[in-house]
Amino acid sequence: MPEIEGYAHGDFSWVDLCTEEPDKAREFYSALFGLSFHDELEGDQVVYTLGLKGDKPVLGLMEKPQQMCEMGIPNVWETYITVDSADEAMAKVGPAGGVPMGPVMEPSGAGRMLVVADPSGAVVVLWEAVGQDGAALKSEHGTLCWNQLLSSDVDKALGFYSEVLGWTPVPLDMEDSTGIMLNGEMIASAGPLPAPAIPSHWAVYFAVDDCDATAAQCLELGGHVVVPPMDTPPGRMAQLVDNAGAMFWVITLDPTFSPV
């Protein structure tokens, strides 16, 4: 795919891994996805790490703050959605039923971000780009290709996102699955949680050339396979866990598949 120049309001633009063991994560994803990593520094302190495919930024990596560790929050892939204005988004979050998890922040001059929980508890980052638009590549091996909301209350959560981001939910032929449309394009999907004990969350999917080979390599690198490779309408996919406990999906996309 050609390099992505920018993202519209409401579109998925970035993912980053918040982990207690960033060095282990670098080794794992470098081998699994063929990425290199570049540290962003403030003085001698690493404040953020970019994952690069070639010389193009495709994902991020950061050490999990001590407060999150003390709260027992697991290592997790975080989903970012572009907004035109973080301040305007902040004003809409509460009335739409969401909860801001803190004030609007400005990390390293790259943009302005707002972390929010939707009405079902799924956490997402709203991103107003300044110097960093988002992933320069998508749907190539080792890059983000899909986002899926798994929610305890899909209708309520999608109502929130529709108010804040302008999404349009549409029914899909796939059981219990709802498509998310933006500007006439399907950008994500939503569905119920697979088990009540699992909290609402955004699942991230990375494109890979060979799902089976990637799952096998994950095991060799110290990770785990939660859901073995299986054939689905969008492609052959598997749910994996990295060597520090963060879950993610990989999929070898079927180029003939159309969700609508």
Domain extents for the chain? 12-129, 143-253
Report the CATH number of the 143-253 domain: 3.10.180.10
Residues 148-198: pLDDT tens digits?
999 999 999 999 999 999 999 999 887 789 999 999 999 999 999 998 889
- Phi/psi for 32 (5° steps) reads -70, -40
Instruction: Mention every residue, 6+ apart, whose C-beta is less than 8 A from residue 158.
Output: 149, 167, 169, 178, 180, 190
Residues 248, 204: contact at Cβ < 8 Å? yes
- Classified by CATH at the fold level, domain 12-129 comes out as 2,3-Dihydroxybiphenyl 1,2-Dioxygenase; domain 1 (3.10.180)
pLDDT at site 144: 98
Instruction: Give every strand in the sheet of 185-192, ordered side by side.
Output: 168-171, 178-182, 185-192, 143-151, 201-207, 247-253, 235-241, 224-232
Whether residue 225 has pLDDT greater than 70: yes
Summarised one tens digit per residue, pLDDT across range 43-62 is 667 788 999 999 999 999 99
Q: Which residues pair with 50 in a beta bridge?
A: 38, 60
Q: What is the DSSP letter of 74?
A: P
Question: pTM (2 decimals)?
Answer: 0.95
> What percent helix, strand, coil does the chain show, rounded to 5?
20, 45, 40
Q: Please report which confidence band the pLDDT of residue 259 belongs to, taking 50, 70 and 90 as the band edges.
A: low
For 18-38, how does the pLDDT look when each residue is reduced to its tens digit (9 = 90+)?
Answer: 999 999 999 999 999 999 999
